[in-house]
Amino acid sequence: MPNAATNPVSVVFGALTMMAMAIPAHAQMPPDFKVPELKKGDEQVMRDARPFADCLVAHQAKEIPKYLGSLIYKMEWLARDMAKAHPECPAPKKLGHDATTYLQTALLEALIKRDFSNVPPPANFENVPPLLYVKTSDNDVSKEFFVNLIEPYDCVSRREPAKVQAFLVTLPMSDAEAAAFNSLKATIVGCQPKGESWELRAYFARRYLAETYYTLMKVSQRQNASAH
């Protein structure tokens, strides 16, 4: 097994993506993982996050890499810093902790649009070696939980990049999103660890499929560029 410290594959928005390392497998994932339900006002925050994220990405907001590459306690302050630094961007009314998932998803989707809107997804990502998604964190349990959670979504993006891309371009809470998500459910179930059964919700899957798809596209494009 290559040494991850000396064989980095890529650095993506502050999260080090490297050759797979030996870590406890799914030590923190319950076998019946329940996804939090949407609360009142969440749908509006989800919708408002998209133009805000598009604007922040267009203006290359300097806090984006840290916001996407961290699992720190005060994530909402990073979002508020971006809003203050870019008053021209229409920030959602709610930018607290509860908005983090929606804004992260919107930022990742905005990056996908910016970097890959004219790049068709490959048939699969077989050319990309195993990746370990590592984030800055003030809690080792949270960091391990994230790694164990995102691995199945990495699996989905590797197997069905075209379906993932089609899902990510739909509007949240739309009929098109529901149809695209339904087409991915069998793959998501197939990528879950053996013996585990996770609740499937589109808004939650978007967050992790956006990150894995964006990362895999980045690494794949860099590999293709270095090969020419």
Predicted pLDDT at 180:
98
**If you average pLDDT over every residue of the chain, what do you get?**
87
Contact 159, 124 (CB under 8 A): yes
Q: What's the pLDDT tens digit per position in 24-81? A: 444 567 888 899 899 988 999 999 999 999 999 999 999 999 999 999 988 999 999 9
Residue 22 pLDDT greater than 50, yes or no? no
Contact 52, 163 (CB under 8 A): no
Highest mean pLDDT among 97-106, 124-133, 175-184, 189-198: 175-184
Contact 144, 24 (CB under 8 A): yes
Predicted pLDDT at 134:
86
Residue ranges per structural domain of the chain: 39-118, 126-228
**pTM attached to this predicted model:** 0.88
Q: Which of 151, 171, 160 is nearest to 211 (CA)?
A: 151
Contact 113, 94 (CB under 8 A): no
Q: Is 174 left (phi over 0), alpha (psi -120 to 50) or beta?
A: beta
* Residue 187 C-alpha from the chain's centroid: 17
E strands within 5-163? 8-12, 15-19, 70-71, 131-134, 136-137
Strands 136-137 and 15-19: unpaired
User: Rounded to whole angstroms, how far apart are CA atoms 113 and 164?
Assistant: 13
Q: Which residues contact 57 (CB under 8 A, 6 or more apart)?
A: 64, 107, 110, 111, 114
